[in-house]
Structure 1
Amino acid sequence: MDCPDCGDEPTRVVDTGTSADGTAVRRRRECTACSFRFTTYERPEWDSLRVEKRDGRVEPFDREKLRAGVERAIEKRPVDADDVATLVDDVEATLLDDDGRVVTAERVGALVSDRLRSLDRIAYVRFVSVYRAFSDPAAFRRALDAVDERDEGGQSREQTEFEQ
């Protein structure tokens, strides 16, 4: 395991335990060269999620990729890092609760957009603009207009129009 601080190879395990949800082994490591400490999480591969992309490719679910996408959407917004961690944990837990181990990228995007909508409307619009890959300004305008509009059933018009 390379040290994330200095890049040196030899590290030693200082402490081992289970993650808070019990699905991973948490290891506290220390670099033997620079004494930098960091935590790694090991999850069994046979139990891991896989994501089917729009083009049909299937790749392992990547929490860091999900977190990075959310962080891009909340950039320069008043959203706490703990809220991002909770969102990512919640999305992953929801996906793990689903019956299958292969989920669609659309399912992941829908879960993230639902949670971002209640967390920060600007971050929601940023995320949806990338996730939905609007091909024309009119579709983007409808998403913007729908952020505050509600239909009789309590759903936003955007949710009704775009998530069918």
Structure 2
Amino acid sequence: MKCPFCSKENTRVIDSRPADDNSSIRRRRLCDECGKRFTTYEKVETIPLIVIKKDNNREQYDRSKIEAGVLRACHKRPVSANEINKLIDEVENEIFNLEEREIESKQIGEIVMDKLKDLEAVAYVRFASVYREFKDVNTFMEELTKLLNNEKK
């Protein structure tokens, strides 16, 4: 592993442990050249997943796109970075547990919205408004009404 500080190849693992989600390993490393320590994460490589977009274009799955959407939805909301990462991990696990090689972006969006609904109502509505492309106030109100009716149950 190349040292991020001095770019030398002489590094060694000094500690390993499972990461929070138990699907990756956290490794503390020490550079033999500069003596600095750094952390790496090792994750199982999965089958490449292709996402079918709304316009029928296909592109490789990219976790950062889900992360960006969720971060925008949670902006200035009382949601911690850990909660956001946990939500994204849950979405990813659900997607990969389907064991499909291709998935529609619509399906990913629905999974994200389902998880956001349980996490934070305002973030859910923000995400839904962009994802479902609300055209007017009535569409927005319909979604809010559904959300309010579900909370009353």
Same fold, TM-score > 0.5, yes or no = yes
- Structure 2 partner of 1:39: 40
Residue pairs, 1:145-160, within 5 angstroms:
145-150=145-150
Identical counterparts, % of pairs: 34
Counterpart check, 1:126 vs 2:135:
no
The residue type equivalent to 1:119 in the other structure is L
The CA RMSD over aligned residues, in Å, is: 3.1
1:113 is displaced (CA, Å) by 0.4
1:69 is displaced (CA, Å) by 1.5
The residue type equivalent to 2:76 in the other structure is K
- TM-score with structure 1 length normalisation? 0.70
Paired residue total: 148
Q: 2-side partners of 1:128 and 1:56: how far apart?
A: 21
The residue type equivalent to 1:64 in the other structure is S
- Structure 2 partner of 1:68: 68
Counterpart check, 1:103 vs 2:103:
yes
1:141 is displaced (CA, Å) by 2.2
| Matched residue SS, 2:148 | coil
- Structure 1 partner of 2:53: 53
CA pair 150-95 structure 1, distance change in 2 beyond 3 A: same
1:76 is displaced (CA, Å) by 1.2
Instruction: Return 5+ residue gaps in structure 2 as ranges.
Output: none
The residue type equivalent to 1:44 in the other structure is E
Preserved contact between residue 16 and residue 28 of structure 2 (Cα < 8 Å) = yes
1:71 is displaced (CA, Å) by 1.4
Q: 1-side partners of 2:141 and 2:29: how far apart?
A: 49
Instruction: Return 5+ residue gaps in structure 1 as ranges.
Output: 155-164
1:64-85: CA deviations, max 9, x gaps?
Answer: 2212211111111111222212
Higher relative contact order (CA 8 A, sep 6+): 2
